[in-house]
Amino acid sequence: MAPLPATMKAIQISKNGGPEVLEYNDVPVPTLAAGQVLVKNHFAGVNYIDTYFRSGLYPAPTLPLTMGREASGEVVAAHDSVSRFAPGTRVAYMAGAPSAGYAEYTAVNADSVVAIPDALSSEEAAAIYLQGLTAWTFIREAGEVKPGQWTLVHAAAGGVGTLLVQMLRSVGAKIIATASTDEKLALAKKYGADYLVNSNDDIVSKVKEITGGHGVDAIFDGVGKATFDADLQMIALKGHLISFGNASGAVPPVNILQLGAKNVKLMRPVVNGYVSTRPDLERYTSELFDLVISKKVEVKIHNIYPLKDAAQAHIDLESRKTTGKLLLKL
């Protein structure tokens, strides 16, 4: 292994704001604590949550904050306490602060790192990891989706959305996709959506018509504020309403009495809670990688930006013009 440099490039914020607060800085290469490996990142995933930490919707645990929640790369060093990953192993990981992906090197707890199978490229692994684990665990554990059930995916052409649609297809659900343009709806159809609804139309009455009045057994909603009220109207008796994001703003406090009309199971899950133990992380990661390797799920990459152009990636993601995954190349 080549000797490690003392400094590296990283994208940081020192205050909250728009994409312009993202700084391209020289920072020290992280040192290793017990249980950690040092990963030389190849690709970092851009996720909507990165915009929440940038804007201040989610409070930064520390400032300056190095951005990013996931990356793929190769292990270049390990703390003496770690024997799991030999140097040179290709890996992917999800990380919380102070570990971060928008950087050339990241020190990560070995317990949250997984090896990338030979059949997957580092690019594919970074593109699928966080959003794929989100979609797959939410289908399995939050939605408990069964074959033949009615499901609905909002923002179905987005990063999580394209994966949800393909994975719901693989479990045999009936899929209604919403998106804001015909081009996005066409992509959802290509990935297996059975019914398409433009989100500028009256979604509630279209869904009532499509489902013959039954409603939707499992709704996957990463849009948040703009769609939550419609979700309550579209959900079927005993349906699972999985509200998991804030792309249009955070859902305001909910009157719990509203759930009684249809015995709704309302959930606001976070992916980390479904992969917090090593056995769960390994099982779901292996199932996720198998879905891609067996070609049941295609990895849709919108664009790969150089690290220094992270601000442009945020502008593009928030402008609603992207489909699939955005990556930064290190």
Residues at the site binding ligand NAP, with contacts judged by CB under 6 A: 47-49, 131, 134, 155, 157-161, 179-180, 184, 199, 222-223, 226, 244-248, 269-271, 317-318, 320, 322
Least separation, in Å, of the C-beta of 303 and ligand NAP?
A: 12
Quick one: 73 or 245, whose CB is closer to ligand NAP?
245
Least separation, in Å, of the C-beta of 80 and ligand NAP?
A: 33
Which helix (H) or strand (E) segment is 12 a member of? strand 7-13
Please give the C-alpha separations between residue 269 and each of 204, 213, 215, 281, in angstroms, as whole numbers: 24, 27, 22, 16
Least separation, in Å, of the C-beta of 319 and ligand NAP?
A: 8
CA 82 to chain centre: 28
Quick one: 174 or 184, whose CB is closer to ligand NAP?
184
Least separation, in Å, of the C-beta of 251 and ligand NAP?
A: 11
Quick one: 40 or 240, whose CB is closer to ligand NAP?
240
Least separation, in Å, of the C-beta of 252 and ligand NAP?
A: 15
Name residue 9's beta-bridge partners.
Answer: 26
Distance CA 248, CA 180 (A): 13
What would the two tokens of residue 133 be?
């684990």
Least separation, in Å, of the C-beta of 317 and ligand NAP?
A: 6
Quick one: 50 or 74, whose CB is closer to ligand NAP?
50
Distance CA 305, CA 41 (A): 14
Least separation, in Å, of the C-beta of 256 and ligand NAP?
A: 20
Which helix (H) or strand (E) segment is 210 a member of? helix 203-210
Quick one: 138 or 289, whose CB is closer to ligand NAP?
138
Q: Do 75 and 39 touch, CB atoms closer than 8 A?
A: yes
DSSP secondary-structure letter at 85?
S
Quick one: 75 or 177, whose CB is closer to ligand NAP?
177
Quick one: 25 or 303, whose CB is closer to ligand NAP?
303
- Using DSSP bridges, classify how beta strands 36-46 and 23-28 pair: parallel, antiparallel or unpaired: unpaired
Distance CA 34, CA 251 (A): 39
Give the 3-state secondary structure of residue 76.
strand
